[in-house]
Structure 1
Amino acid sequence: MPVNVLFSARPELWPVYEPLLAKGLTEAGLDFCLGTEFAPDQVDYVVYAPNGGLMDFTPYTRLKAVLSLWAGVEQIAGNATLTVPLARMVDHGLTQGMTEWVVGHVLRYHLGMDHHITVQDGVWTPDAPPLASERLVCVLGLGALGEAAARALAALNFHVTGWSRTSKDIPGVTCLYGEDGLLTALSQAEIVVLLLPDTPATENTLNSKTLALLPMGACIINPGRGPLIDDNALLDALKTGQVGHATLDVFRVEPLPPDHPYWAHPNVTVTPHIASETRPVTAAQVICENIRRGEEGEPFLHLVDRTLGY
């Protein structure tokens, strides 16, 4: 009996993913059927994105796993109708893209590029930045994306502190965890990078209290999730100079409404959720490997802990 794989994502992605998934499943030696329509009780695996429309998994009585195309699973992790394993997307293409974006914006702040680009006043001011080893960067969230970014920054000799909810050990990175660790990490961070998941425990990680811990004029980079920041608290901190600049790629409402104060703020850079994205070639490889594992009785990769939400 063939393995039936339902593709439930935006319709325009199907022509992109279909040949990639077919190639990977063939190379895995599986007998399979791929499609966008099956009788629910005939589906073995769902390749999933929340914007594909599937929300009720109750009729999928044969389902073995849901394999997300997205790194973030906050829109599905709490779905009570989903009782089978859920795997999030962790692929080296997405990770590499995020690392490049984070490193680029950290270097932009570190080297003072905004000032050099915008200030053309004819005044010769040879004010060189410190070396990276003298710059304190804090990465909040040490999952696959956060760890990769922290490692890359440490490789450039930045003084990197990483924070996570549980203890981690990353060579070249000072790893802190727990509430006390967060307060310590923020109190010395000149540049803060947010790569935490969106869960009830992480909402408003940066708020009026935690922003006040930062060194005056610290910079914030958020390619993680919009709800990680209390927007009003950030705007207040920008107004007082407590935060010198913020580069924001993700927001509570997307697209960011045209009248949102971030757009016109002189000390905010808005990017339209482009820090990284799932790359079909590498994502298809991850999906196919998980289907192979499921069929051969091996543990799935990148399983979501439903109690934690990531």
Structure 2
Amino acid sequence: MHQLCIISRRYELYRQLIENAALPELALTDNPAEATLVLADPPLLTGRLEEFLNLHWVQSTYAGIDALIRPGLRKDYTLTNIRGLFGQLISEYVLGLLFSHQRHFARYHEQQQQGIWRQHHYNSLAGKTMVILGTGTIGQHLAQSARALGMTIYGVNRSGETPNNSFARVFPIEQLTGVLPQADIVVSILPATELSNDVLNAESLSHCRDVLLFNVGRGNAVCEPGLIQALESGAVAHAFLDVFKQEPLPATHPFWQHPRITVTPHIAAESFPEQVMEIFKTNYLRYVEGKPLQFQIDFERGY
């Protein structure tokens, strides 16, 4: 019998879903010393890893697992995350904010409250160039969606290899500053790795001109003082930020009051428990059959 411990802010819902699934040879436990398997929100598990004396496998409820791969944490277990669920949600977030920004919808709402009839010039997104940092399943979905709107899509990843024809071209991350001058829109979907730390900084962003910047990957990718400098210089016209180095974002942080930064509280793509459970069920059945698990994390690469 395999013993599963659930550590999540959605504990009750996950417990109900597990019980309803009636998976073979699986029992629930709240005792970490008994558990061989864990279904967890990574930030909630980080400080408790050492309590699990017989840990074999952790299924993350998030795509982001950076909380579990920090230096000094144990790596003597199999870690899997969830993938393939967030492309649609991230695309809705990015494109929704793009539409609103380009068409001045917030400004028109303010004018409505004041009874002001005033038109503002706008441009179509067709013909714009979007540079997507991170070309995994989320980046590919966004590329496909943006390309359908008439945009040219360039990708940036570790290898420079092109995953599909939604990208006009893909560049290795070492050539980032070579592609940024062509961008109208920059979207970071990078995972948290040493390679992505502060990749969008004052120097790299200085190669941009009046771009719209989105960070929907991990907060470590953006050098926060560097972004402020890029906004002041005009390299970045507006930044839409959903992830940050420190979350929740401190109330005194300058991003809150900056007129050309839009802050959202890490809501671009939520992990819906019912979808997470489908991945867990598939992986669990593979686990009991001794098959390789899907979406395994390489602790060295960080994804």
Give the TM-score taking structure 2 as reference length.
Answer: 0.89
Q: Which residue of 2 aligns with 1:165?
A: 158
**Distance in 1 between residues matched to 2:154 and 2:46, nearest whole Å:** 40
Q: Which residue of 1 aligns with 2:19?
A: 22
Aligned partner of 1:137: which letter? Answer: M
Q: Which residue of 2 aligns with 1:262?
A: 255
**Distance in 1 between residues matched to 2:201 and 2:111, nearest whole Å:** 31
SS at match of 1:261: coil
1:76 and 2:68 are equivalent in the alignment: yes
1:284 and 2:277 are equivalent in the alignment: yes
**Distance in 1 between residues matched to 2:167 and 2:274, nearest whole Å:** 31
Aligned pairs for 1:36-185 (under 5 A) are 36-38=30-32, 40=33, 42-53=34-45, 55=47, 57=49, 60=52, 62-78=54-70, 80-92=73-85, 94-117=86-109, 125=119, 127-130=121-124, 132-166=125-159, 167-185=161-179
Q: Taking structure 1 as reference, are residues 8 and 54 closer, same or farther at Cα in structure 2, changes over 3 Å only? A: farther
Q: Could you list the per-position Cα deviations for residues 91-123 of structure 1 after superposition, in whole angstroms to 9, with x for gaps in the alignment? A: 52x443222112212333344445555568968
**CA displacement at 1:227 relative to structure 2:** 1.7
Percent of counterpart pairs with the same letter?
27
Q: Taking structure 1 as reference, are residues 226 and 119 closer, same or farther at Cα in structure 2, changes over 3 Å only? A: farther
Q: Which residue of 2 aligns with 1:8?
A: 7
**Distance in 2 between residues matched to 1:67 and 1:8, nearest whole Å:** 11
Q: Which residue of 1 aligns with 2:195?
A: 201
Aligned partner of 2:37: which letter? Answer: Y
**Distance in 2 between residues matched to 1:265 and 1:126, nearest whole Å:** 22
Aligned partner of 2:5: which letter? Answer: L
Q: Which residue of 1 aligns with 2:208?
A: 214
SS at match of 2:66: coil
Aligned partner of 2:164: which letter? Answer: I
**Distance in 2 between residues matched to 1:110 and 1:158, nearest whole Å:** 14
**CA displacement at 1:203 relative to structure 2:** 0.9
**Distance in 2 between residues matched to 1:113 and 1:185, nearest whole Å:** 30
Contact preservation (8 Å) 1:58, 1:82: no
Taking only aligned residues, the RMSD between alpha carbons, in angstroms, comes to 2.4
> Which sits farther off after the overlay, 291-300 or 116-125?
116-125
SS at match of 1:134: coil
Contact preservation (8 Å) 2:46, 2:67: no
**Distance in 2 between residues matched to 1:168 and 1:59, nearest whole Å:** 42
**CA displacement at 1:168 relative to structure 2:** 2.9
Q: Could you list the per-position Cα deviations for residues 248-275 of structure 1 after superposition, in whole angstroms to 9, with x for gaps in the alignment? A: 1111122212221111111111111111
**CA displacement at 1:80 relative to structure 2:** 4.0
**Distance in 2 between residues matched to 1:150 and 1:75, nearest whole Å:** 28
**Distance in 2 between residues matched to 1:115 and 1:65, nearest whole Å:** 50
Contact preservation (8 Å) 1:197, 1:225: yes
SS at match of 1:245: strand
SS at match of 1:107: helix
**Distance in 1 between residues matched to 2:154 and 2:292, nearest whole Å:** 32
Contact preservation (8 Å) 1:154, 1:160: yes
- Give the aligned length: 299
Contact preservation (8 Å) 1:244, 1:267: yes
Q: Which residue of 1 aligns with 2:29?
A: 35
**Distance in 2 between residues matched to 1:201 and 1:180, nearest whole Å:** 10
Higher relative contact order (CA 8 A, sep 6+): 1
Q: Taking structure 1 as reference, are residues 279 and 118 closer, same or farther at Cα in structure 2, changes over 3 Å only? A: same
Q: Which residue of 2 aligns with 1:248?
A: 241
SS at match of 1:168: coil
> Which sits farther off after the overlay, 80-89 or 107-116?
107-116
Contact preservation (8 Å) 1:98, 1:149: yes
Unaligned runs of 5+ in 1: none
Aligned partner of 1:201: which letter? Answer: L
Q: Which residue of 2 aligns with 1:298?
A: 291
Q: Taking structure 1 as reference, are residues 48 and 124 closer, same or farther at Cα in structure 2, changes over 3 Å only? A: closer
